[in-house]
Amino acid sequence: MHSFSVDRSVELILGGVVFPGEPALSGHSDADVVAHAVADAMLGAAGLGDIGTHFSDQDEGWKGANSLDLLARVAQLVRQVGFRLVNADCTVVCERPRIVGSREEMMANLSVAAGGPVHVKATRPEGLGALGRQEGIACMAVALLEEVSS
């Protein structure tokens, strides 16, 4: 989950797609919460920790990083320990933006970076809690990996 940024000079990016005119998310990288969720799901499924373990927000080298590039690095790490992505599924939780018109592009971007099919869907919090008050965006993801025979 990422909160919205007060910095209006940055753009909202979800699944590698820019949403012009929408408030951006706060984060050390480009704050693409969808790419981050898929990366975390893949790392967790491979027993490799989480995104913060590999791309610390204390490391200035990752400041402003493209999250699809981070996801591609995660896919490489997963392959190095003998797994490949069978598929990933993620759910974006937000009042806005509406992602339906960008969903296919998001899935294509994420699938290329992750090295396997990634499905994206969305739901609204219907006004409940911080997400319902439009204070940020959350994304939950699960990844299925399979062991690659040597």
List pLDDT tens digits, range 26-54. 888 899 999 999 999 999 999 999 998 99
Tell me, what's the pLDDT at 26? 83
Query: What is the Cα–Cα distance from 15 to 97, expressed in whole angstroms?
Result: 13
Predicted TM-score (pTM) of this structure: 0.93
List pLDDT tens digits, range 53-102. 998 778 777 777 899 999 999 999 999 999 999 999 999 999 999 999 99
Query: What is the Cα–Cα distance from 120 to 34, expressed in whole angstroms?
Result: 9
List pLDDT tens digits, range 105-132. 999 999 999 999 999 999 998 888 889 8
- Domains of the chain (ranges plus CATH)? 2-147 (3.30.1330.50)
Q: What is the mean pLDDT of residues 5-33?
A: 90
Residue 73, phi then psi, degrees to nearest 5 = -65, -40
The three state secondary structure string of 50-68 is CHHHHCCCCCHHHCCCCHH
Tell me, what's the pLDDT at 133? 85
Q: What is the mean pLDDT of residues 3-22?
A: 89
- Look at residues 80, 90, 91, 88 and name the one whose alpha carbon lies nearest to residue 144: 88
Tell me, what's the pLDDT at 40? 97
Tokens of 145: 């990996």
User: If you compute the radius of gyration of the chain from its CA atoms, what whole number of angstroms results?
Assistant: 15
C-alpha distance from residue 148 to each of 19, 47, 112, 121 (Å): 37, 15, 19, 28
Tell me, what's the pLDDT at 150? 64
Tell me, what's the pLDDT at 55? 86
CA 12 distance to own-chain centroid: 12
